[in-house]
Chain A
Amino acid sequence: MDIRMAGVTKIFEPDIVALEDIYLNLDRGEFVYLVGATGSGKTTLLRIITREVIPSRGQIVVARRNLRSLRASQLPYYRRELGVVFQDYKLLPHLSVLENVAFVLETIGAPSRVVKDRASTVIDQVGLWRLRDHYPQQLSGGEQQRVAIARAMVNSPSIFLADEPTGNLDLHTSEEIMQLLLSINAAGTTVIVATHDQYLVDAYRQRVVELHQGRIKRDEERGRYFVDGEL
């Protein structure tokens, strides 16, 4: 089991219940869509996995680590096992595409040859080799999202988290991004995608976990964005 949540509840001050009594198990290599309306708790759930947020109650074990009792000194090493694509990409504007991707490896102290080789390989995989020296502001939304994905996968994470990876992208670009995520998953990486993109969820059927007001409303293998008959 890669991720195990038992009774996870998060209450933000003063009394905003973001998640309530979440029980969720994910096996290694699974692909899961987190769906639900804005404010349903998708991002909070991802942030609990990255340990930016600590649950108010309940247990969460990720990659055999109990996140509630994880020591601060161990946190960086835990996060190296995760690849995260943020909703707003969080690319560094003063760094080129290559530098943005290499940045992750440099941050964890990888030797310069490894940094160069690995970053180049990943940029090539996401199809941005010709744009490697461009800066984020010179790229389209889809290209920026690819850089964000390349950055998240450069460290060969065992768990890949993506928060709205196709938000604001056109259909064609969204499909390209989805293909990338599927290829990452095909390599054995657990992928969790929080999304509003009904088309993608329905087109690329995978496990669907729907959140509603902080609770799991449904958890279906090869589910659809809406429950049949809902629309």
Chain B
Amino acid sequence: MASFRYALRDTFRLIFRHWGLSILTLITAVALFFLLGSSGLFSLNLKSLVADVEDDLVINVFMKAGEDASSLVEAMQDVGFITDLKVISPEKGLELLRAKLGNQAKAVTLLGENPLPWNVQIQVMKADFVTPLVRDLMSFPSVEEVVYAGQLAEKLAQASLVMNRVSIAVLILAITITALVLYNTVKIAIYSKRGEIEVMLLVGATNTSIALPFVLQGMLLSTFGALISVILLAGAYQYVSVMLETTLSFLILIADRLLLMRFYLILIGTGMTLGWLCSWFAVHRYIAEASCPE
């Protein structure tokens, strides 16, 4: 317990002895974790958007005049990735159209006979299934036209894939830069205390007790960096959510508090782990060299 108390005291001494460097490291960590978090949140939201579009993905199949949908429905029975299939007769279609048009419903009756064809609405599990299905549907002789928003979903899925790759690249880059900055900060702290470390080794300090203040220094700077970035990120996310709600209401960001909280905790955990690993590597290597007898 006493050892830990001394280590903690020495940790703060290290941080304040090189306060300029500590602030620089902290700012770098904040900026990089903010970048990391932003890219993660963007990726999460894009995924959620794709999932939403996929949920609403309806393929509208319009039959030729005089053709009903029975043969098509029969053919679609065995397709495993179809989640829902609705058949709308011309009469039902007209009813729906009237309901949708409201006050202007009279315009529909002016047409005389019902001009609407049989319509089949098909929902699939994933956007990837849309294109092959549409190709199949178009090959039916009784089908007049296929209307679908699948291209949008496919593009979103592709964008999501690209964004995931970009996110991973950003993640690797940000983690590497943060790791290097932390490693160097701890190295400088070690260098400034090399005389002390030499004496510590000679008077019987264990490697752990020598390493502990440096490891705590790296962990504290990195964790605080991640924590500050999470606070900034949460504020910015809230602001962007409100802004989008008022300007682009169809774009709804993830509002699941539990999911966001988990994401922020992972970010802080990453900061802590990264700080621990970098400082441990820096100090372990130094002590191993310094304590090696000639």
Contact = CB atoms under 8 A, between A and B. Distances in A.
A84 B199 CA distance: 10
Nearest to B10: A106
Contacts of A151: 203
A104 B209 CA distance: 12
Interface string B1-24: 011011000000000000000000
A75 B291 contact: yes
Contacts of A110: 2
Interface residues of B, number: 20
Contact of A52 (B3, B6, B203, B294): B294
Contacts of B291: 72, 75
B294 A107 contact: no
A3 interface: no
Interface residues on A, range: 20 to 34
A189 to B, nearest CB: 16
Contacts of B5: 112
A193 to B, nearest CB: 17
Nearest to A93: B195
B202 A50 contact: yes
Interface string A111-123: 1100000000000
A76 B204 contact: yes
Nearest to A72: B291
B188 interface: no
A17 to B, nearest CB: 14
B203 A106 contact: no
A51 interface: yes
B206 interface: yes
Interface string A56-77: 0000000000000000100111
Given A92-B195, A109-B2, A76 B294 contact: no
Contacts of B205: 76, 107-108
B293 interface: yes
Given A92-B199, A111-B2, A53 B294 contact: yes
A79 interface: yes
B200 interface: yes
Main secondary structure of the interface of B (DSSP, over half): helix
B95 to A, nearest CB: 84
A142 to B, nearest CB: 20
Contacts of A90: 195, 198-199
A54 B292 CA distance: 10
Contacts, number: 61
Contacts of B202: 50, 52, 79, 84
Nearest to B193: A92
B196 interface: yes
Nearest to B203: A104
B293 A80 contact: no
A106 B294 CA distance: 27
Interface in B171-215: 195-196, 198-207, 209
Contacts of B195: 90, 92
Contacts of A77: 204
Contacts of A47: 294
B196 A92 contact: yes
A76 B2 contact: no
Contacts of B196: 92
A103 interface: yes
A145 interface: no
B203 A108 contact: yes
A180 B21 CA distance: 44
B204 A79 contact: yes
| Nearest 3 Cβ contacts at the A-B interface | A80-B204, A109-B3, A79-B204
Interface of A: 12, 47, 50-54, 72, 75-80, 82, 84, 90, 92, 103-104, 106-112, 151, 155
19 contacts: A52-B293, A53-B294, A54-B293, A76-B207, A79-B203, A84-B203, A90-B199, A92-B195, A92-B196, A106-B6, A107-B6, A107-B204, A107-B205, A108-B209, A109-B6, A110-B2, A112-B5, A151-B203, A155-B204
Given A106-B6, A109-B6, 10 more contacts: A52-B294, A54-B293, A72-B291, A76-B207, A78-B204, A79-B203, A80-B203, A90-B199, A103-B199, A107-B204
